[in-house]
Structure 1
């Protein structure tokens, strides 16, 4: 998917908040669409491919030209960005590409820089913006035909959905494992085999995503929010939030106001 920078045409680059009242599509663009979720969760469906993605921040998808898609947030809201661009190559058929394993957080940092440069919109920085976009594209891997979900994947989906709806009861991974009637170590192994990620990281992301929603949509105290998402102490939530989001919960609450 590589090309020279002079063959790359930058188009729209925007970011903001989306919610349940703002569905995504259905739409089919004649150009590439790099859709990235910075906070929250978003479901993207590709009807022609019979595929559905659940993007949990930080994550995204590179949608190829001519691919029909639609989507919606899975929580109260999500903060996302889009980058539209055109390349000389014409992909054959609809499709999409996902971030390389373990690179999502690094790609998000590059996307934030790309947004910063797009806001400045300086003509002399256009070559730099194009080089940055090409570096971003190296972090995506084209996806073939979707695999049929295994029995373990179906069980995991059901368990994680239940866990997300009852986070106040999910104190540890053992509580999630109990939903499946298996041990914590068995859950860790099943999750890594099916999704190639850490079960502990997945639970942490569920907690933080719900915390984001509560911080922005309510005036609840940090202690109350911590209890609702399964943390024993407000300090534990604050430490996890700062480490993963780069801000304290209070800073995030104020930072989110411009997107309201």
Structure 2
């Protein structure tokens, strides 16, 4: 984690063709930076496999101990920190690759609330690195997914104590996305308000907690002062 915070993940391999004052060691270092994209891609692939494995294990487990919950929280914080370190120090090309891989991973899956903290660590990291780009590819799709579930389900979904797993996951993801810097959320105002209007009456505990967290996160986002550029 500390190392990733110190390394600028930019492909500088082209410098060996444009500079004539580099030493052999500098040339070797420049050429080695071409491997950054493959390294980060493989790191993300392994992270996705870990999340899938943990998701399966948690779905099979009947009881999660306090120790297990503490470990999950620690893993989520470390993952968020590592991905944040990468996206704040990487080139735009590498960021686009990271954003695309995470977006595709989220679009193809639904996760239980127990594993959502780990998954949200990925979202939080890229949201901090580039909120405009992240919201563009994630918020409309998430809101559309929620609207579709609400429209296609029976009217009892609002009063069903068992809840809908996919809806719960989408609401958790929605609550994470509205953590974005306040000014980047303004253009999505009608979309965001529509989700609150449709889902505020849900009585399923975990779904309602997600809606409440979304409201809290949104108010913080709109009232806090943020640095415009983290990278």
* Common fold by TM > 0.5: no
Higher strand share: 1
Structure with greater proportional helix content: 2
TM-score, structure 2 normalization: 0.31
| TM-score normalised by structure 1 residue count | 0.28
